[in-house]
Amino acid sequence: MKFLTFIASLVCVLGYEVLSIYVDWGNPYDMGRLPVNDLTITETIDKSPLHTTAHYPNQSGEYPVVFFIGGMNGYVLSEMYTDVLRMVAAHGFIVFGVDYKYPALTDGENIFKPILKQDLKPYFNEIDFSTVFIEPVSFDAFENVPNPVPALMYGTELSEKGLTKCCLPGTDFRQFYKIWKCPRLALEVADFGHCDILNREFWGVCTHICTKSNETRIDEYHKFIQGAMSSFVISTLQMRQDAITYLSDTTKIPVKLLEHQTDLNCTLEKKSDQLF
């Protein structure tokens, strides 16, 4: 039963180089400046192949696309993360929450199988730009991914604490960092936990499973994690190179860190070649 407690989130992002692309020049830990619209595209009503939520700037422009996949290989629906996803969109991204397991558990699939064998390779056959792993857990992350993309691996202190650890040491963000190649960056924040990224209405349910953090700090946490995710995609997808310093320079990170590893020099070189 222990495995039911794992939640791993995967944010996959695709980018394309368009010179007129919107660039957020602010501090990513502040709220983005763009107003955001939301749309739910349902599999049944809209004949969409997948149940999908979309959050996008309500202002014409060119924005990179971010695909978000919820925890447990997609069983945790992206609707549970909309507060944070909307905040990322406000920095100038079209964010799609792709619920490819929706409605969960009706396809007769054994939920344990994908969780135990969370093979990363299929994702990276399709996706080739940059990825944020938010508290990833995989029992299968021991082989190098064939063509790794720039990645941020992110963990929290409380996910490894308590009776029901929601991330197991040896299968989590540190392991992902270990098997990745440059460019990569890993950080672990103190005091927060696995459920804190969720919208408030789902947070309460999740904290029955994972170790609780302090509810009074959830808004602060959402503001932080949207900033961490945005810093990465602003630097890799909007091509604002200095935005990576909001993750690589610990003095710019507005929460207490327990761990911080960077291996980024290759990106900066490659990026400049691509851009100029």
Interface contacts to ligand NAG, rule CB under 6 A = 35, 37, 58, 214, 216, 265
Q: How far is the CB of 171 from ligand NAG (least distance, A)?
A: 26
Nearer to ligand NAG, 38 or 119 (CB): 38
Nearer to ligand NAG, 155 or 183 (CB): 183
Nearer to ligand NAG, 240 or 260 (CB): 260
Q: How far is the CB of 15 from ligand NAG (least distance, A)?
A: 23
Q: What beta strand segments (E) does 100-142 contain?
A: 130-134
Nearer to ligand NAG, 216 or 274 (CB): 216
Nearer to ligand NAG, 37 or 125 (CB): 37
Nearer to ligand NAG, 214 or 272 (CB): 214
Among all chains, which residue has been given the structure tokens 């672990």?
188
Q: How far is the CB of 236 from ligand NAG (least distance, A)?
A: 17
DSSP state of 106: -
Q: How far apart are CA 53 and CA 108, in angstroms?
A: 24
Q: How far is the CB of 37 from ligand NAG (least distance, A)?
A: 5
Sign of CA dihedral 250, 260, 150, 79: negative
Write out the DSSP string of 179-235: H--SSEEEEEESS--TTTTS-HHHHHHHTTTSPP--GGGHHHHHHHHHHHHHHHHHH
Q: How far apart are CA 181 and CA 193, in angstroms?
A: 27
DSSP state of 225: H
Q: Nearest 5 degrees, angle CA 89-CA 81-CA 176?
A: 90
Q: How far is the CB of 25 from ligand NAG (least distance, A)?
A: 21
Q: How far is the CB of 118 from ligand NAG (least distance, A)?
A: 30
Q: How far apart are CA 161 and CA 261, in angstroms?
A: 21
Pairing outcome for strands 9-14 and 36-41: unpaired
User: What helix, strand, coil percent values describe the chain, rounded to 5?
Assistant: 35, 20, 45
Cβ 133 vs Cβ 10: under 8 Å: yes
- By CB neighbour count within 10 A (0-12 exposed, 13-18 middle, 19+ buried), where does 79 fall? middle
Nearer to ligand NAG, 58 or 250 (CB): 58
Q: How far is the CB of 120 from ligand NAG (least distance, A)?
A: 25
Q: How far is the CB of 94 from ligand NAG (least distance, A)?
A: 15
Nearer to ligand NAG, 37 or 147 (CB): 37
